[in-house]
């Protein structure tokens, strides 16, 4: 099973240090890990550092992988190449780093990714013509179709309506379990984090200030300290934790 552990990770843009000494326990395939923190806390920077797009001290320790390209990444900005259809763009994402010839299995995986995200009907559309939310789902399909062992998604629900936010996070959680995939997902919605993630990392000013099971990280005390809101967490009638914000402090 794939595992990921960060050991005293740092990252800088030029001489400006953004991340300092980020160390985590070992995360395992099958888990969904929320990456939380206010604007500019360093969430996207941490993804880039894990991907090796930024240099810095410390180590990203990945073990137990069986594929040559174990990691897929869905960035926050989802660029659109207008010359491609949705289907072609997802197939292209699938073929990156693979054999040049498209196999039946590749087409099957494209179909599967589009089906999982309920966007099969968009297949023939030009991706430049899509709405922001549709484009975000296509971007998620481009990451999923790579069948990664570690999937990192940077605010994948930010452009989605409520139904699709719940839909995407439900699918991600199921796929993590079914495929023993480790998912790291940056989220601003702490209620979604409580409901759909197992572990959470809370960043503030480039430092990891809390890490552990999500219900132990997202607490009224931490919300007060980091987000400067007075909030409480109560179960709804179905037992799901709900975040109730009283006021900013």
User: Which residues make up the interface to ligand ATP (CB under 6 A)?
Assistant: 13, 18, 37, 39-45
For the CB of residue 45, give the shortest distance to ligand ATP in the complex, in Å: 3
Rg (CA), the chain: 18
Please identify, using beta-carbon distances, which residue of 9 and 41 lies nearer to ligand ATP. 41
For the CB of residue 11, give the shortest distance to ligand ATP in the complex, in Å: 9
For the CB of residue 86, give the shortest distance to ligand ATP in the complex, in Å: 25
DSSP 8-state symbol, 103: P
For the CB of residue 56, give the shortest distance to ligand ATP in the complex, in Å: 13
**Cβ distance 74 to 68 under 8 Å?**
no
Please identify, using beta-carbon distances, which residue of 13 and 240 lies nearer to ligand ATP. 13
Please identify, using beta-carbon distances, which residue of 16 and 124 lies nearer to ligand ATP. 16
Please identify, using beta-carbon distances, which residue of 2 and 34 lies nearer to ligand ATP. 34
> 83: exposed, middle or buried (C-beta count within 10 Å: 0-12, 13-18, 19+)?
exposed
**Cβ distance 180 to 1 under 8 Å?**
yes
Angle between helix 162-179 and 132-144 (nearest 10): 0
Please identify, using beta-carbon distances, which residue of 45 and 109 lies nearer to ligand ATP. 45
**Cβ distance 90 to 141 under 8 Å?**
yes
For the CB of residue 163, give the shortest distance to ligand ATP in the complex, in Å: 23
């Amino acid at each position: 099973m794939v595992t990921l552990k960060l050991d005293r990770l740092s990252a800088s843009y030029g001489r400006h240090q953004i991340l300092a000494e980020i160390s985590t326990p070992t995360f395992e395939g099958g888990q969904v890990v929320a990456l939380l923190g206010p604007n500019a806390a360093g969430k996207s920077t941490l993804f880039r550092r894990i991907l090796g797009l930024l240099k810095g001290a410390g180590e990203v320790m990945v073990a137990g992988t069986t594929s040559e390209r174990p990691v897929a990444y869905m960035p926050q900005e989802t660029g659109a190449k207008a010359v491609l259809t949705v289907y072609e763009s997802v197939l292209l994402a699938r073929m990156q780093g693979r054999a040049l010839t498209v196999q039946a299995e590749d087409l099957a995986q494209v179909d599967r990714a589009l089906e999982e995200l309920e966007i099969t009907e968009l297949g023939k559309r030009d991706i430049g013509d899509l709405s922001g939310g549709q484009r975000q789902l296509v971007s998620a399909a481009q990451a999923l179709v790579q069948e990664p062992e570690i999937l990192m998604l940077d605010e994948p629900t930010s452009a989605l309506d409520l139904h699709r936010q719940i839909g995407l996070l439900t699918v991600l959680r199921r796929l993590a379990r079914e495929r023993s995939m480790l998912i790291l997902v940056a989220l601003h919605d702490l209620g979604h984090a409580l409901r759909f993630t197992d572990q959470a990392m809370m960043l503030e000013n480039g430092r990891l200030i809390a890490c552990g099971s999500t219900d132990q990280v997202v607490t009224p005390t931490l919300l007060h300290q980091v987000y400067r809101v007075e909030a409480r967490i109560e179960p709804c009638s179905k037992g799901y934790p709900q975040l109730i914000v009283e006021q900013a402090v």
